[in-house]
Amino acid sequence: MKKKNLNKTQLWKLRKEIVLNSLYTSDYANSFGFTPNTVASFFEGYCSYLWEQVTEFHGHNSAESMLDEYDNADNLWAWYLMYDEFPFEYDN
């Protein structure tokens, strides 16, 4: 699938529609028409990326309490730009 461009605002809107780090696929339902499985997979990677960022700068002891601070539009955009291919599939 070719990469469709989401802008930073749209990507942050998608983030606000889902329950980050949820175990339930239904928590990744969204108004963009993307399959919950692909959204869950993308955001699972994003959570790992945030964890790496926090622990690199603040260590493991304070990481859990700082994740919310790192969950922002800029970090999400940086994660999205790491993808060569569009990470979401459309729900038919």
Q: Name residues whose C-beta falls within 8 Å of residue 41's C-beta, 6 or more positions apart in sequence.
A: 87
| pLDDT digit string, tens, across residues 34-90 | 999 999 999 999 999 998 888 877 776 666 667 788 999 999 999 999 999 999 999
Nearest of 31, 43, 23, 33 to residue 83 by alpha carbon: 43
> 2 φ, ψ to 5°?
-70, 150
**For residue 8, is pLDDT > 60?**
yes
Q: Where are the domains of the chain?
A: 8-81
Q: Which two tokens stand for residue 62?
A: 């304070």
Q: Which two tokens stand for residue 48?
A: 């790992």
The pTM score is: 0.88
CA distance 78 to 56: 16
Q: What confidence score (pLDDT) does residue 60 get?
A: 66
